[in-house]
Structure 1
C-alpha cells in the first residue's frame, strides 16, 4: 500500500467517525432538549443545545477533512491541507460560543423562579454521559490514528458534553433533594468554565498549525537521520519542517564535498528526498538545498 492509499484509508476513518458524531449528536440533542423542556430542567436543555452545536462542528470536521484530502492544483500547489486545522478552529470557536451562551442563560434563570426538574431527567443524563464517554474514546482513537486536530477537537466536544451532562446530573439531584430549582441552573453555570477551558486548550493546536509552528522535534530528528544515511552526505545544516493538514513539508540544507559536480550534487539531493519520504511517514515534499563543505567555513555575508 502506497503512502497516498494509506492516507486516504485513514482519512476515510475520520470521515466515518464524523458522520457517527453527527448522527449521535443530533439524536442526543433532540432527546435532551425534549426531556429538558418537559422535565423543567434548563441544565438538560443547555446540554441539548451544546449537543446541537456539536452537530454543526462535526459537520465542519467532515467537510474540512473532505476538502483537506484534495490533491494539489494550480491555485493550491501545497494542497488543501490547511482546511483541516481551519475546521478544528471552527470546532473550538463553536464550543466557546456554546459555553458563553449557557453561562448567560444560566445566570438569567438563576434570577427567575421556575419549577423543580422531574426525577426522570436523571436517567436521561446518565445515558447521555455513558454514550458521550464511549463516543469520545472512539473518536479520540481515530484522531490519534490519522493525526487530525479537527477530529481530536470533535473528541473533546464529546468529552465536554459528558462533563456538562455530569454537572447537570449533580444539579438536578441537588434541586430534587433541596427543593431548590436554581441548583439546576447553578450546575449549568458551573459547566460553562469547563467548556470554555477545553475549547481554549483545543484551539491552540490548530492555530499553531495555521501559523506554521514547528511540529514535535522527533519529526525533524527522523528527517535528519534519514538524510544522513545517504551516501555523499557529509553533514546537515538547517532543517525546517511544517505541517499542512495531514502531511509534512521539509526544507533541508545538505552538506557535500565542494569538488562534486553539479550533476552529482543533484543526484544526491534526489536520493535524500527519496530516503526521507521512504523512512518518515506523511512527508509530502522535501526541498533540498546543497551546500559545499568549504562554504560553511567562510564568514557569512553579514560578517563581511
Structure 2
C-alpha cells in the first residue's frame, strides 16, 4: 500500500460515483422513484467529495519543500473535513426532497427499480470494503471518510429499497413509504458525518496523538544509548505521517558535541522506524544529573 500512489483510490472513487449517480437518476426517472432520484442527486454531491479527496491526497503526498518544510499532509485533513461537510449537504438534500414528496403524493415506483437498487447496493459495499482497507493501511482520514461515503450511500439505497418494496408491493396508500425511508436515512448520514469529521478536525487543531505511539517513541528513547529520559514529548499528525517534538535529557557533564550526537542518534532511529510513520523530528537537549533510567 505504501508503495502505491494513494490518489488513485480517490480517482476510482470519483469515477464510480459519477457512474452510480448517472444510473440512479436514469432508473429513478424511468421507474418513477422519487427517493432514488433524490439519492442520485446525493451521489452527484459524492462526485464533488471524491474529487476533493482525490486532489487532497495528491497534495498531501508531495514531498516537503522550502515553503512547506513540514510537508503537505494537512491537505488530507482539509479534504476529509470538506468531504464530511459534503455528507451533511447530501443528507439535507435527501431530507428536503423526502419531505416534499411526502407532502405531494405520487404513483408507486416501477418494479424494475428493485433489481437496479440491489446492483447499486452491492457495488457501493464493494467500494466501501476496498477503500476502508486502503485507509487502514495508510492511516488516511480522507480515505476513511470517502469509504464511509460509499457505506452511507449503500445504506441510503437500502432505505430506498425498503421504501420502494413497500410502495410497490403493499398496494395503494403506501406510495409514500420510499420517501419516509429516505428521510430516516438522512438522519443517519448526518450522525456519521459528524463522527467521521472529528479525526480531520483533531489533526487540523494539532491534537496530541494516542498514547500508543507516544509509548513506542519513549521506548525507542529508552533503548538509545546516552538518553537519560524524555523531559517532554509532543506528537502531531499530518496526513498519514507524524511530526515529533522531543526534549531529551542527557548527562550534564557531556560536551555539546556528545549531546548533539545522542540527540541525532535518537532522531535517526525514530525516522528509520517505518511503523511509526514519522516524517519530522525536532530535538532539544537538556542537561541532567539524574542516573539513566
TM class by shorter chain equals over 0.9
Q: What are the equivalent positions in structure 2 for 1:71-90 lying under 5 Å apart? A: 71-90=63-82
SS at the partner of 1:73?
coil
Aligned residue in 1 for 2:105: 113
Q: What are the equivalent positions in structure 2 for 1:1-304 lying under 5 Å apart? A: 7=2, 9-10=3-4, 12=5, 14-176=6-168, 177-179=170-172, 180-279=174-273, 280-294=275-289
What RMSD, in angstroms, separates the aligned Cα atoms of the two structures? 1.5
TM-score by length of 2: 0.95
- What is the number of residues matched between the two proteins? 288
1: distance between equivalents of 2:162 and 2:46?
A: 22
State the Cα deviation string for residues 52-111 of structure 1 (Å, max 9, x = none): 111111111110011111122222221111100100011100010010111111111101
> Which runs of no fewer than 5 residues in structure 1 stay unpaired?
1-5, 297-304
How far did 1:295 drift? 9.0
TM-score by length of 1: 0.91
SS at the partner of 1:251?
strand
2: distance between equivalents of 1:289 and 1:228?
A: 16
Aligned residue in 2 for 1:301: none
Are 2:221 and 2:229, in contact at CA under 8 Å, matched by a contact in 1? no
> Which runs of no fewer than 5 residues in structure 2 stay unpaired?
none
State the Cα deviation string for residues 209-231 of structure 1 (Å, max 9, x = none): 00001122111111111111111
